[in-house]
Amino acid sequence: MRSLYITPLNVVQVENLKLLREIEDGNPRPDWVPTWDWAKEMLGRYESNDLYHAVVSDTLIITMKGIAAGMQNTG
């Protein structure tokens, strides 16, 4: 039963790890810019101006927390 809920998080986590490695290799997606004003405001709180890196890092952290919570709560 657990895999039904955690598998999508695993897939998102793998994709974000790929994106993070692209960033570390110096090949980020340069054309990415958030379109929503609230997203720009929230991401503007980061010390670095690299919003793409911030989004990828945050998404990776959220997936890790989600998988940990799912594993803990489903036994």
Every domain of the chain and the residues it spans = 2-19+37-73
Q: Which residues of the chain have pLDDT under 50?
A: none
C-alpha distances out from residue 28 to 21, 48, 65, 68, Å: 9, 15, 25, 28
Most distant pair of Cα atoms in the chain: their distance: 42
Task: Assess contact for 55 and 16: CB atoms under 8 A.
Answer: no
52 token code pair: 């793409």
Give pLDDT, residue 48. 63
**DSSP string across 22-57:** HHHTT---TT----SHHHHHHHTTSSSS-HHHHHHH
Give pLDDT, residue 46. 67
Give pLDDT, residue 42. 74
